[in-house]
Homo-oligomer: A and B are copies of this chain.
Amino acid sequence: MKKLINRVDDVVPESLEGVGLAHPDLVKIDLEHKVVLRVGGPRQGKVGLVSGGGSGHEPLHGGFVGLGMLDAACAGNVFTSPTPDQMEFATRAVDGGAGVLHIVKNYTGDVLNFQMAADLVNGDVEVASVVTNDDVAVQDSLYTAGRRGVGATVLVEKIAGAKAEEGATLDGVRATAEKVNANARSMGMALTSCIVPAAGTPTFQLGDDEIEIGIGIHGEPGRRREKLVPVDEIAATLVEPIVDDLALSQGDDVLAFVNSMGGTPLIELYIAFRSVASLLADRGISISRSLVGPYITSLEMAGFSVTLLRLDDELKRLWDAPVHTPALRWGA
């Protein structure tokens, strides 16, 4: 395992410290609770947004703390949900009297820990939560853990963040977050595995000509293993189930988010974006907003994911609203 680290146990706290040192104007770090907090909080009267999850997905979530996005992000160990006490601390810290929205990716651990945290602040802070579950690689079923939360989480954080910044109520912010999640679907693939620092070995092994289709963001195995094919074909494999599941059709307007899993460089990511754009153009679906880059990653994994969000005027306005965080910035 070759990583730019000091000690395996220090990976998460030292990385958080780095974020704090690089962006002192935007965030402050509570190292005891491993929470990234927006400077100047809590904001009276504004709904607070708290997210969090296992580390290893940077810039998610800590890189999205700031104006127009999150108020706090809880960092777990690598690929391990943070604990209720972290979430409790974050929730209390950002409550400005208007309540707090928990943005939770749909994994058993995240859901259970956020639920425990909500129980812990019950009576003190009004908490609502939205669970993102956009990964079409996973069959949705009442009898399983359901779909995973992946790329849509970034879009929920941006758009719900803008809604909260506008002064919406907790119910209003929650409804917007749910609207984004309901209108977004994702699917990803990997060229290589990632290495959990504490494990020290790759989570899975892929042959020199193999790829994993339907990968999650933790190196968990995907739908199937395939031979490497041109990216145009890979993109079709990812885009089709998304388009089907969202029932996108001619004339629809989407935000296209092409995300690097961490180790894939921009030169390749833009080729993938081109593939996605041409598949959508073929179907008469227009891309009126786009996001290309590493925003929800799996450590050093090479690969990419595609997230499509069906847009309407409200979502466009909220997407375009100012945002100023370590990883996403415009209009401010």
Chain A interface residues toward B at CB < 8 A: 2-7, 11, 14-19, 21-23, 55-56, 58-59, 63, 78, 191-192, 208-209, 211, 228, 230-232, 234, 258, 262-275, 277, 287, 290, 292, 294, 297, 299-300, 302-304, 326-327, 329-330
| Contact flag A18-B270 (CB < 8 Å), given A6-B231, A192-B2 | yes
| B-chain residues with CB within 8 Å of residue A231 when the two chains form the complex | 4-6
The residue on B at minimum CB distance from A75 is: B267
Bound CA–CA A225/B303 (angstroms): 29
15 contacts between A and B (CB under 8 A): A4-B231, A4-B264, A4-B268, A6-B232, A14-B274, A15-B266, A15-B267, A15-B270, A18-B269, A21-B290, A23-B290, A59-B266, A267-B299, A268-B300, A329-B330
B267 touches A11 (CB 8 A): yes
A2 touches which of B6, B209, B275 (Cβ 8 Å): B209
A300 touches B211 (CB 8 A): no
Bound CA–CA A191/B300 (angstroms): 12
- Other contacts beyond A2-B208, A5-B268, A265-B300: 5, CB < 8 A: A4-B272, A5-B230, A14-B271, A18-B272, A18-B274
